[in-house]
C-alpha cells in the first residue's frame, strides 16, 4: 500500500497559525501523514553554522533562523492533536537528541531521518532507543554511508524503510535518480520510497511505476510565497492530483493482465476486426491479386483479413460485385 507524506518543513515560517492552516488544507488531499521539522537551535546549531541560503533580512545568522522556526512543547502537542482530529499521522524530523526527547513527549508513531543526519550516529542511537519505526532519506549519502546506517538500525531491530532522494532544490529530471529505487530495494530488502524535491507531480508517479511505496514531497500554499523550500514544493491542488494518480498506478501494478486471455473481447473483436472483400467488380475465372482486396468490418463475414496470402493467386469460381465479401467457396 502506498503511503503519502506531505512535508511542511519551514513553510509555516515560524507561525503556529499557518502550521495549523496547512493541517486543515492537506487533510483533504488524500495524504496519510503530515511532516514537520523539529529544530532546537541551541542543540543542533551554533553561530558558526554557514548561512546556507540568505533567506531574509530578519535573520542575521542561520542559528537565528532555526530559533525562529521553533515551537513550544504545547504548540507541538496542539499540532499533533489537530492531525489526530483530521485523520493524519503527525510526523516531524528531529535534528538533535533534544528534539527526539521533545517529540517523545508529543507522541510520534515513527521517525523520519533526513539525509544530513545519516552519519549522526548519536541521533540514530537516541531514536533507536524509542524502538519506533524509522524512515531514512538517502539524499546526499553514499551507499557506504547508507550501509552503515542501515546496519546500525537493523542491529537495533528497528523497523526500517528507505527513500531515494536527491539533495537539490528543485531537483531537475537528470538528477531524479529513479534507478536508485530498484537498487535500494535489492540492496536492503526493506520498503523503499521516494522523497521528492522536483516540484512536479510526474516524479512520484514515475517512482511508483518503479516500485516505490512511500512518497514524500514538500507542500506550499502558493509557489510565490516566501520560504526556503518553495521552489521544490507542490501546491495543495497538485498534491491532490498526485495522490490520485499514484493510487491509480498502484492499482495497475497490482492488477497484472494476461495477454493470452482475450475472452472478454470476443464481441468487440467481431465489431472491429475485418473480413476480406473485393474492391472492384470481378469476373468468374479472375486470378485474385493483392490489388483486388480490401478488409471491411465486421469479422466473420468471409475470409479473415489475416489470411489474405492464402487467397492471392486463387481463381474466382463466379462473378463478384465491388465490396462483396470473399468467402471460401468463392475461390
Rounded Cα gap, residues 8 and 11, in angstroms? 5
pLDDT for position 48: 82
Question: Maximum Cα–Cα distance for the chain, whole Å?
Answer: 100
Locate 278 and state its grid cell: 473485393
Cβ burial of 277 (10 Å; 0-12, 13-18, 19+) is buried
DSSP state of 117: G
Q: Is the CB of residue 59 less than 8 Å from the CB of residue 117?
A: no
pLDDT for position 277: 97
Instruction: Report the predicted TM-score, pTM, of the whole model to 2 decimal places.
Output: 0.86
pLDDT for position 216: 96
Rounded Cα gap, residues 199 and 229, in angstroms? 10
User: CATH 3.90.1210.10 spans which residues of the chain?
Assistant: 263-330
pLDDT for position 201: 94
pLDDT for position 227: 63
Residue pointed to by grid coordinates 508517479 = 205
DSSP state of 171: P
Residue pointed to by grid coordinates 522523497 = 195
Report the residue count for the chain. Answer: 331
Cα Rg, the chain, nearest whole Å: 31
DSSP state of 218: E
Report the CATH number of the 3-253 domain: 3.20.20.70
Q: Is the CB of residue 49 less than 8 Å from the CB of residue 63?
A: yes
Q: Treating both helix axes as pointing N-terminal to C-terminal, what angle do 201-209 and 236-253 enclose, rounded to 10 degrees?
A: 10
Locate 68 and state its grid cell: 525562529
User: CATH 3.20.20.70 spans which residues of the chain?
Assistant: 3-253
Partners of 296 in the beta sheet? 275
Rounded Cα gap, residues 62 and 50, in angstroms? 7
Class of the 263-330 domain? alpha beta
Q: Is the CB of residue 142 less than 8 Å from the CB of residue 118?
A: no
pLDDT for position 229: 67
- DSSP, collapsed to helix, strand or coil, labels residue 149 as helix
How would you write the pLDDT of the chain (331 residues) with one tens digit per residue?
Answer: 899 999 998 888 889 999 999 999 999 999 999 999 999 988 988 878 776 555 567 777 888 888 888 999 999 999 999 999 999 999 999 999 999 999 999 999 999 999 899 999 999 999 999 999 999 999 889 999 999 999 999 999 999 999 999 887 788 889 899 999 999 999 999 999 999 988 899 999 999 999 999 999 999 998 767 666 677 789 999 999 999 999 999 999 889 999 999 899 989 998 999 999 999 999 999 999 999 999 999 999 989 999 999 999 999 999 999 999 999 999 9
Amino acid at each position: 500500500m502506498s503511503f503519502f507524506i506531505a512535508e511542511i518543513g519551514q513553510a509555516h515560517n515560524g507561525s503556529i497559525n499557518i502550521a495549523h492552516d496547512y493541517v486543515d488544507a492537506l487533510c483533504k488531499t488524500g495524504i496519510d501523514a503530515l511532516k514537520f521539522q523539529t529544530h532546537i537551535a541551541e542543540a543542533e546549531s551554533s553561530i558558526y553554522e554557514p548561512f546556507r541560503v540568505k533567506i531574509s533580512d530578519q535573520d542575521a545568522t542561520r542559528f537565528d533562523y532555526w530559533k525562529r522556526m521553533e515551537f513550544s512543547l504545547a504548540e507541538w502537542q496542539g499540532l499533533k492533536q489537530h492531525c489526530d482530529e483530521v485523520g493524519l499521522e503527525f510526523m516531524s524530523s528531529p535534528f538533535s537528541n533534544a528534539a527526539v526527547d521533545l517529540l517523545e513527549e508529543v507522541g510520534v508513531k515513527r521517525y523520519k531521518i533526513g539525509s544530513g543526519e545519516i552519519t549522526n550516529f548519536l541521533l540514530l542511537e537516541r531514536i533507536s532507543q524509542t524502538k519506533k519505526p524509522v524512515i531514512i532519506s538517502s539524499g546526499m549519502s553514499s551507499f557506504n554511508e547508507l550501509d552503515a546506517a542501515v546496519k546500525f538500525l537493523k542491529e537495533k531491530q528497528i523497523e526500517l524503510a528507505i527513500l531515494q532522494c536527491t539533495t537539490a532544490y528543485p531537483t531537475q529530471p537528470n538528477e531524479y535518480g529513479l534507478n536508485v529505487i530498484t537498487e535500494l530495494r535489492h540492496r536492503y530488502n526493506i520498503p523503499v520510497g521516494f522523497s521528492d524535491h522536483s516540484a512536479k507531480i510526474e516524479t512520484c508517479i514515475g517512482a511508483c511505476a518503479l516500485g516505490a511505496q512511500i512518497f514524500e514531497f514538500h507542500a506550499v500554499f502558493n509557489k510565490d510565497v516566501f520560504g526556503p523550500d518553495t521552489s521544490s514544493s507542490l501546491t495543495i491542488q497538485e498534491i491532490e492530483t498526485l495522490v490520485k494518480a499514484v493510487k491509480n498506478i498502484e492499482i495497475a501494478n497490482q492488477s497484472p493482465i494476461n495477454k493470452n486471455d482475450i475472452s472478454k473481447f470476443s464481441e468487440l473483436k467481431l465489431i472491429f476486426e475485418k473480413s476480406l472483400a473485393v474492391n472492384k467488380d470481378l469476373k468468374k475465372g479472375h486470378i485474385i491479386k493483392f490489388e483486388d482486396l480490401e478488409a471491411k468490418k465486421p469479422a466473420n463475414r468471409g475470409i479473415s483479413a489475416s489470411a489474405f496470402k492464402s487467397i492471392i493467386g486463387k481463381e474466382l469460381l463466379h462473378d463478384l460485385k465491388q465490396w462483396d465479401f470473399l468467402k471460401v467457396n468463392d475461390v
